[in-house]
Structure 1
């Protein structure tokens, strides 16, 4: 088994509120960044929110599909959670039943080793799912189901990790290195995300049917969706990791995110700022900004952002690049966005400008399929996620119809994502340099 790294640091940047935040992986994205919500903040004047993505030349497959409740996988998720809870309870009871400190310590270490082994197995499982999807052996729905299963197990393993940490703290004259525990937490983060979690809720019937975007490379995956008036996105790029090297400092990790997401960094909430949690082979930088939340993971070896989660309320999303078609008294405007990005469709009367409530369908040129999106509603607006290729939006209202064919825009890529090794750490500007570090 490859040893997990043992170093952990929490670095705070003008962030007394975030010092208390400690989410259990990406499951706690929105909750962890408590305090002022995006709606309470002044919007940024810059429309760009950069994002990690898959380059066009590396893209293997992309799909956008609506997913619904599915009884089979739903039962699987319930079974996974039940088994995970039973195994955790059994582990805790087995350890608590032993009075001998030496034996109890060995049991804790053995259980912790089991969780670490499962984390490594999840790496292989995730890569296998991506490979099968790329080969056409899995549909987009099956890809989401499998990634949601991995997400579910990772969250259960995180619960067990926390229980083992508490048992270690309660054991006299015994301790587990905090860096080892934190490194395991970061590793389990790799397999969780807001889109996977929402997919599990949709498939289990806990959330409304949702249209998901899935884009893959040979070893990476990008998932996004619009759910509960929020745009959620997660990206994982294993090709941007270098596990054979380490030594990155938390300051450099923070600088890396500031350089890659300059607009987000500039618009971060001053009362919440940003924080970085490190564990040897990777660092998680969390930022609450005026248009949502960003979770960026920096690899210690490559010094690149290799994973990202974004949560953005639709009210904070800019309109994008408009394309308009007018016919039969209908004015259809599509605010174009990048592949998998938040896509707004607006329907109005061409003469009066009044919004129109009507059915909307979308067809992707690549596969000649047309899918019903829903109704625009009283405000004439409907949101979805953008396909990766040319697509057509169709609206029919009585004898009137309008069709608009357009294409996605370019991805607002990270400002810099270089593998160059810097021996000198970047010095932050004076307003950002009042840093304090403490062991987690």
Structure 2
């Protein structure tokens, strides 16, 4: 499918909201309290913002856990940052103090080879961390710490890559292929993400405690969090890569992203809304749109989106997949969403509609154990990330209590990923997952064309 003209896409998708068409289970379940009110669920809208996710048939583990400042990892991250700066400084000093141009050039190449080798080692490290988590040899907290460490090292290696590029530009009669440097940057991108970055901020005390959703397959991981008024998500699927082939062009990559994310593509901003950087065995497509930002990586061999990060302001998120319970003068509304998606909890007085501030707990229905989420605040609203299995939300205000049991909605998986078209969110899968809740190369800027126009591609620039 070619990137659709704006007017056509807008006819297909009028406005992006969360949710997907599918039946909801309103059957009676064992409530956490006697007399609990069960969900009265409206039919969700078919207009969705698609996400890269793990099909339920390939899901191994899923969990939602709270994380907070942690002295041990905090010291580790500080040491990683300091060590990276020291090593980069030492490398540059050796290069700058080389006795002759030949030695200087060889030192630059040695350093670049070292970064490339370390990138290969990070691939193995990330795969091992996911496998250990799946085998229950790592907790979700430990998994997040290890992924954050890998993220921190990858960022340090990229800073060294940039420093080597700069010192190369100051070296007479010597150059390194910009394609090689850009391919290395794309490879290091594989190990970084905004959720991992926020996890570091939480553990080092730079950000407040937050609840993180973790979902894994044999070789993939999906992370999400609600933080600083935004829903932040990242996903990586190693099974969607084919490193032996390089057949997808950057124009085709843009078409692939347009097909997979029709709502996002149709609402991209007018100026510099879309940027494509092609290097190595992937294309990075970044889209700034009216409701957030998407960064999608398309594999040049498989032609599939294998990595994604999304950031969306909470104020832009809406859904018609609501569940509502009323009791004891309290009206509890849950704007249901897909596993790991942004879940909104709203508490109001049932008669006046005034917002109510009260503590909220959530627990998996199967376990009957609840965890304190926080309180709804003066606006009666609390945001979190959705579990992957049926859950119960409980609110107690004085002598009043309301309990609501609901299901996650089907995941709006990528439109053009053939194996991801299933919308089954059942927790029963082949690998029996566990669910818990606990405390640069060529770069093209593609402007949005006039209605009915195909996107245009700008002149390439080297980053």
Between 1:393-402 and 1:44-53, the stretch displaced more is: 44-53
Secondary structure of residue in 2 paired with 1:325: strand
CA distance in 2, matches of 1:141, 1:86: 28
CA distance in 1, matches of 2:159, 2:108: 14
Question: Does structure 1 residue 46 correspond to structure 2 residue 13?
Answer: no
Q: Which residue of 1 aligns with 2:232?
A: 232
Question: Does structure 1 residue 116 correspond to structure 2 residue 105?
Answer: no
1:320-348 CA distances to partner (integer Å, 9 max, x unpaired)?
Answer: 41000001111000000000000000000
Per the TM alignment, residue 438 of structure 1 is displaced from its structure 2 partner at its CA by 1.7
1:228-277 CA distances to partner (integer Å, 9 max, x unpaired)?
Answer: 01100000000000011113211001110001001100000012220100
Per the TM alignment, residue 437 of structure 1 is displaced from its structure 2 partner at its CA by 3.6
1:43-93 CA distances to partner (integer Å, 9 max, x unpaired)?
Answer: 962321110000000000000000011111111111111111100000000
Q: Which residue of 2 aligns with 1:374?
A: 374
Q: Which residue of 1 aligns with 2:70?
A: 70
Q: Which residue of 2 aligns with 1:249?
A: 249
In the superposition, the TM-score normalised over structure 2's length comes to: 0.83
In the superposition, the TM-score normalised over structure 1's length comes to: 0.87
Which stretches of structure 1, 4 residues or longer, exceed 3 Å deviation after superposition? none
CA distance in 2, matches of 1:70, 1:200: 10
Q: Given that residues 44 and 267 in structure 1 are in contact (C-alpha distance below 8 angstroms), is that contact kept between their aligned partners in structure 2?
A: no
Question: Does structure 1 residue 432 correspond to structure 2 residue 458?
Answer: no
CA distance in 2, matches of 1:375, 1:247: 52
Q: Given that residues 284 and 298 in structure 1 are in contact (C-alpha distance below 8 angstroms), is that contact kept between their aligned partners in structure 2?
A: yes
CA distance in 1, matches of 2:74, 2:320: 36
Q: Given that residues 256 and 303 in structure 1 are in contact (C-alpha distance below 8 angstroms), is that contact kept between their aligned partners in structure 2?
A: yes
- Counting only pairs closer than 5 Å after superposition, residues 39-438 of structure 1 correspond to structure 2 as 45-47=15-17, 48-418=48-418, 431-438=453-460
Q: Given that residues 260 and 416 in structure 1 are in contact (C-alpha distance below 8 angstroms), is that contact kept between their aligned partners in structure 2?
A: yes
- Counting only pairs closer than 5 Å after superposition, residues 20-39 of structure 1 correspond to structure 2 as none
Per the TM alignment, residue 213 of structure 1 is displaced from its structure 2 partner at its CA by 0.2
CA distance in 1, matches of 2:336, 2:202: 26
Q: CA RMSD in A?
A: 1.7
Number of equivalenced pairs: 392
1:188-220 CA distances to partner (integer Å, 9 max, x unpaired)?
Answer: 000000000000110111100000000000000
Q: Given that residues 303 and 418 in structure 1 are in contact (C-alpha distance below 8 angstroms), is that contact kept between their aligned partners in structure 2?
A: no
Q: Which residue of 2 aligns with 1:423?
A: none
Q: Which residue of 1 aligns with 2:446?
A: none
- C-alpha change, 1:325 and 1:249, in structure 2 (3 Å) is same
Q: Given that residues 202 and 209 in structure 2 are in contact (C-alpha distance below 8 angstroms), is that contact kept between their aligned partners in structure 1?
A: yes
- C-alpha change, 1:61 and 1:366, in structure 2 (3 Å) is farther
- C-alpha change, 1:278 and 1:418, in structure 2 (3 Å) is farther
Per the TM alignment, residue 430 of structure 1 is displaced from its structure 2 partner at its CA by 6.2
Per the TM alignment, residue 431 of structure 1 is displaced from its structure 2 partner at its CA by 1.9
Secondary structure of residue in 1 paired with 2:410: coil
CA distance in 2, matches of 1:241, 1:61: 22
Q: Given that residues 184 and 280 in structure 2 are in contact (C-alpha distance below 8 angstroms), is that contact kept between their aligned partners in structure 1?
A: no
Unaligned stretches of 5+ residues in structure 2: 1-12, 18-47, 420-448
CA distance in 1, matches of 2:461, 2:246: 18
Per the TM alignment, residue 184 of structure 1 is displaced from its structure 2 partner at its CA by 0.3
Secondary structure of residue in 1 paired with 2:348: strand
Q: Given that residues 344 and 384 in structure 2 are in contact (C-alpha distance below 8 angstroms), is that contact kept between their aligned partners in structure 1?
A: yes
Unaligned stretches of 5+ residues in structure 1: 1-42, 420-427
